[in-house]
């Protein structure tokens, strides 16, 4: 750290490190050093700790629960209670505070979202909206922000070729996806509703559960209130009753995002299939 100015460490297959050693790493490294770990081991190895073992520490764990629950939502197979839990930072499962959860939907291992979803850009956009409005630390894989494909290769660790090389022309081809990610990141940085440091209580977060079981609404309160409406149903619309009187500003309509607003809504909002919407008041 002193010589190369390393600012953090990621522990691959982190649970093969025994619990006491991991605790020493957390205790002895300077407090400004970033620490994150995969909270699992290879199939033939023994897990020596669990996600819940390092509650109330600065070790952020790769949240495979978030990955699986949000992918299920996007594919129309949501368990709504599970989706609400991971959107709130996985607190009360195994995290004591949102920063312990490193949220991701694709990584160097496994399929990219482009390879999972194919040409269904609705799913790609819904994934971006869910990832960047959830409590916790969002992780964006290289090229995810412009819907990068690895040609269907889900285990490309040994590919020194176009599978792993970044084709930057795809960014211009999928400029709409890139602009959505960019706008969501700017929104997240501007409004602390999306970056709570402690587990949220009922004064900070509430939920809307419409009749469509593959949809969920998240109310994030603060100086301004945000509604994040997610519909993972690929065929049916989801009608959300808005929680207070007066007009809400639509800042993301599922395709575009603008802090200045893209329209308004009063009373209710009917979200199209496989779409995420963000409103503000």
Condensed to tens digits (0 to 9), the pLDDT of residues 263-279 reads: 999 999 999 999 999 99
Residue 214, pLDDT above cutoff 90 = yes
Token pair of 201 as six digits: 């209580």
- On the question of pLDDT at 244 being above 90, the answer is no
Both tokens of 137, joined, read: 């630390």
Q: With contact defined as beta carbons under 8 Å apart, do 254 and 272 qualify?
A: yes
Residue 1 has a pLDDT of 84
Pairing of strands 34-37, 59-63: parallel
d(CA 31, CA 50): 22
User: What's the pLDDT at 154?
Assistant: 97
More confident residue, 132 or 43: 132
The pLDDT of residue 17 is above 90: yes
DSSP 3-state assignment of 273? coil
Tokens of 220: 């994030």
- The CATH number of domain 205-280, selected from 3.40.50.1970, 3.30.230.10, 2.60.40.1180, 2.40.170.20: 2.60.40.1180
Q: Which residues contact 150 (CB under 8 A, 6 or more apart)?
A: 111, 112, 115, 156, 163, 164
Q: What is the pLDDT of residue 18?
A: 95
Q: How is the chain split into domains, by residue range? A: 205-280
Q: Which of 270, 261, 198, 199 is nearest to 226 (CA)?
A: 261
Pairing of strands 226-231, 264-266: unpaired
Residue with tokens 């999972």: 116
Contacts for 77 with CB less than 8 Å, ≥ 6 apart: 214, 232
Q: Which residues contact 111 (CB under 8 A, 6 or more apart)?
A: 150, 152, 154
The tokens of 68 are what? 């699986």
Q: What is the DSSP letter of 220?
A: E
Confidence of residue 12 (pLDDT cuts 50, 70, 90): very high
Looking at residue 2, its pLDDT comes to 84
Band of residue 245 on the pLDDT scale cut at 50, 70, 90: confident
How much is the pLDDT for 263?
97
User: What is the pLDDT at residue 92?
Assistant: 85
User: Is the Cβ–Cβ distance between 149 and 117 less than 8 Å?
Assistant: no
What is the average pLDDT score of the chain? 97
Predicted TM-score (pTM) of the model is 0.96
- Assess contact for 97 and 89: CB atoms under 8 A: yes
What is the rounded average pLDDT of the residues 192-216? 96
For residue 67, is pLDDT > 90?
yes
**Backbone φ and ψ of 67, nearest 5°:** -55, -50
Q: Identify the band that residue 145 occupies on the pLDDT scale cut at 50, 70 and 90.
A: very high
């Amino acid at each position: 750290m002193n010589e190369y100015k390393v600012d953090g460490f990621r522990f691959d297959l982190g649970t093969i490190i025994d619990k006491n050693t991991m605790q020493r790493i957390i205790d002895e490294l300077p407090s400004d050093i970033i620490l994150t770990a995969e909270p699992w081991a290879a199939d033939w190895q023994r897990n020596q700790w669990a996600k819940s073992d390092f509650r109330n520490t600065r070790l952020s764990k790769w949240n495979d629960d978030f990955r699986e629950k949000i992918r299920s939502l996007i594919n129309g197979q949501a368990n709504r209670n599970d989706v609400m839990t991971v959107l709130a930072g996985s607190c009360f499962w195994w995290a004591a505070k949102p920063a312990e959860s490193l949220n991701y939907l694709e990584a160097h291992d496994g399929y990219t979202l482009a390879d999972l979803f194919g040409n269904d850009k609705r799913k790609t956009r819904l994934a971006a909206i869910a990832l960047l409005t959830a409590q916790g630390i969002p992780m964006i894989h290289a090229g995810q922000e412009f819907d990068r494909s690895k040609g269907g290769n889900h285990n490309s660790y040994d590919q020194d070729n176009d599978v792993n090389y970044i084709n930057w022309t795809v960014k211009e081809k999928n400029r709409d996806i890139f602009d959505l990610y960019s706008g969501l990141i700017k929104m997240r940085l501007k409004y602390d509703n999306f970056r709570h440091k402690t587990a949220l209580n009922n004064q900070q977060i509430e939920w809307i559960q419409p009749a469509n079981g593959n949809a969920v609404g998240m109310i994030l309160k603060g100086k301004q209130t945000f509604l994040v409406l997610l519909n993972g149903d690929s065929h049916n619309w989801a009608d959300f009753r808005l929680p207070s009187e007066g007009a809400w500003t639509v800042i993301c309509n599922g395709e575009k995002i603008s802090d200045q607003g893209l329209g308004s809504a009063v009373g209710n909002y009917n979200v199209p299939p496989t779409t995420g919407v963000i409103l503000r008041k």
